[in-house]
Structures are given as C-alpha cells and as structure tokens.
Amino acid sequence: MKFLIIIPAHNEEKNIFFTLESLKNQTFQDFEVIVVNDGSTDKTADIVHKFISTVTLSGVEASNFKLSNLESSVHEPGAKVVRTFNKGLQTTDLNHFDIICKFDADIIFPKNYLKRINEVYESNPKAGMVSGLVKIKKSVFEKSLAFDFKDEKHQWIYENLSSKNHVRGPIKSYRKECFLAMNGLRPVLGWDNIDVMLAKKNNWETVTIKDLWVKHLRPTAYKYKKQKAEKLGEYFYNIGLNLPLAMISSAKSSLKNKSFFEFFTTIKSFLKQNGERKLTKEEIQYIRNLRWKQMWRKDKS
C-alpha cells in the first residue's frame, strides 16, 4: 500500500526536523510526505527545504518529501489544522494512494511505525483508521518544554487524554475508502473525534496498536488549558449534541474535575454557539444515538 502523509506545520522550527528524520528512516518506504507550511514566521520552511535538499540515506528519494507554503495563518483551533491539511490534499492526486495520514509536526516515529500500520491495513480489510499510541516526556508534562532526545524509555509516559482505543489526532491514518466514505475531515474543534464516529457510522473499524508508541514533543493543546471548559462547550455543539446530552456530558466532566464552575462555563459556551454545524442531520442523529448508547452502557456497568 502507498501512504500519503500530510503534515500541517506552523512555527515548528524546534520539532519539524526530528519528525521528518524519523519518517526518512522508516523501514517501510512506500510513502510521500507533504509538509504544509501554514504561514510560519520562524525558520520552519527553511528547515524543511534544507531537509528535502539533503535527503540521501536509506534509499529515500528527495521526491518522497515535498513542501507547500501558505502565505498566512488564521488562529482557529481545530478548524485551522484541518483546513491546512486539506490544502495539502489539493496538491496531489488521491488516486495514487491507498492510505491517507495526517501527522503532527512534533512527532518522533519509531523506525517500524509505518510498517506496523501497513500490516494492519493489509491483514484487516475492515480497518478504516489505524494508529499507535502517544507518549510525552514526563519532565515536559510536569515542568517545561525543554527536551533531551537521548532520554531513557522510562522518562516518556502515556499522554492520558483519551482511551487507548482512540486513534489520536497527532497520528491519524485512514484507509482511503473510509476517508472518502465519511467525506473527509470536518474543519471544526473536535474533528479528531468526529472522524472516529463517522468511520464507525460507515461500518469501518478503528484500530490502535497498543505496543507501538510515538514520542510527542509537546502536550496536546497545552496553550488552551485555561479555556478548557469553554472549548468543551464548543466541542459538544460541533459534534451535534442537543442540550440534554450536553448537560449530562458537562456534568460528568465537572464531577470528574471536581468543579461546578466548569459545568456552568461549559453550558454557557454551548448555548452561545450559533454557527452552522459541519454535519448532516443523519450524522448528527447517529452521533446522538451513539452517545446515548455509550452512556447507557457505562451506567449499567
């Protein structure tokens, strides 16, 4: 199978080289990488350009790596990364590929990552989305953004933001047929949960390989921690929840975090949303039914 890997990048001069180097060194080499530089104001574009011009090891041709530059970047969490990804899609012909990947520009992949992902797609024709799991450096999680790339394994811990059965946003991969069936990615906050639900709606399986780890060089959405409750309300709206579902989901989150203030902030944010949802009525109904079923199963267990 041939992989198309699209990497949206904005001001990633500290990380992008390590991501590209880890892809260059993959044991599986049937891929094309497109870095979409989203209006970076640092040296991201220069680093990618230099990397492409010096790719010579492991039989990888420079043509395996491409750079696409966008002139400006608009700050819009969730929507921005999908729109940048879609710009990458527009630069190539999907007919030449079997697997479509959206990777972050701050990931270090083990050498066998693409090989293991490819094996799942080859062996399981119902696999629509596949990934490994994400680790983050313990000292980064607890203290700062200073990195030492020679750290021992025990210094990297699981980035515990979701179930280990969830295909995470930084390392998404899709079988092309699944990607097309769910009409691509939706440019909204929450896109990386919507895609999983729409894959299931179209009768595709999502698979995570539990012993396949990548290193994430910075925490996910670390800039938005103070806005978590507000973003949660926006997320509940984007995935199509109605008010009763949003209230129950908000209550569960606030109880988990022991914060009644979070509940009111989330619901206030949910109620003020008035934009057009990026889901069809059928998709919204499916997601609502799915959420009710998930809550019912949890309540009975």
The whole-number pLDDT of residue 295 equals 81
Helix (H), strand (E) at residue 68 = strand 65-70
The whole-number pLDDT of residue 158 equals 77
For residues 148-152, average pLDDT: 48
- Whether residue 173 is predicted with pLDDT greater than 90 in this model: the reply is yes
Q: How confident is the model at residue 55 (pLDDT cuts 50, 70, 90)?
A: confident
- Whether residue 147 is predicted with pLDDT greater than 70 in this model: the reply is no
What CA–CA distances, in Å, run from 196 to 13, 82, 199, 218?
30, 15, 5, 23
For residues 29-54, average pLDDT: 94
- Whether residue 142 is predicted with pLDDT greater than 80 in this model: the reply is no
For residues 1-26, average pLDDT: 96
The whole-number pLDDT of residue 77 equals 62
CB-based contact 88:8 (threshold 8 Å):
yes
Cβ-in-10-Å burial (0-12, 13-18, 19+) of 290 comes to: middle
- Whether residue 76 is predicted with pLDDT greater than 80 in this model: the reply is no
Mean pLDDT of the chain: 88
SS3 200: helix
The whole-number pLDDT of residue 216 equals 93
- Within 10 angstroms of residue 118's Cβ, the number of other Cβ atoms is 20
Nearest to 4 by CA among 89, 123, 105: 89
Nearest to 173 by CA among 140, 204, 216: 204
CB-based contact 130:122 (threshold 8 Å):
no
CB-based contact 200:206 (threshold 8 Å):
yes
Nearest to 120 by CA among 189, 28, 43, 38: 28
Distance, C-alpha 124 to centroid of its chain: 22
The whole-number pLDDT of residue 160 equals 78
DSSP bridge pairs for 216: 107, 136
Q: How confident is the model at residue 139 (pLDDT cuts 50, 70, 90)?
A: low
Nearest to 77 by CA among 184, 202, 203, 223: 223
For residues 208-227, average pLDDT: 77
- Whether residue 220 is predicted with pLDDT greater than 70 in this model: the reply is no
Strand 31-38 with 3-9, pairing: parallel
- Within 10 angstroms of residue 207's Cβ, the number of other Cβ atoms is 19
- Whether residue 162 is predicted with pLDDT greater than 90 in this model: the reply is no
CB-based contact 219:141 (threshold 8 Å):
yes
CB-based contact 217:147 (threshold 8 Å):
yes
Residue 277 has what DSSP assignment? P
Distance CA(101)–CA(109), nearest Å, equals 13
**For residue 195, which phi and psi values (nearest 5 degrees)?**
-65, -35
Could you tell me what percent of the chain has a pLDDT over 70?
85
The whole-number pLDDT of residue 149 equals 46
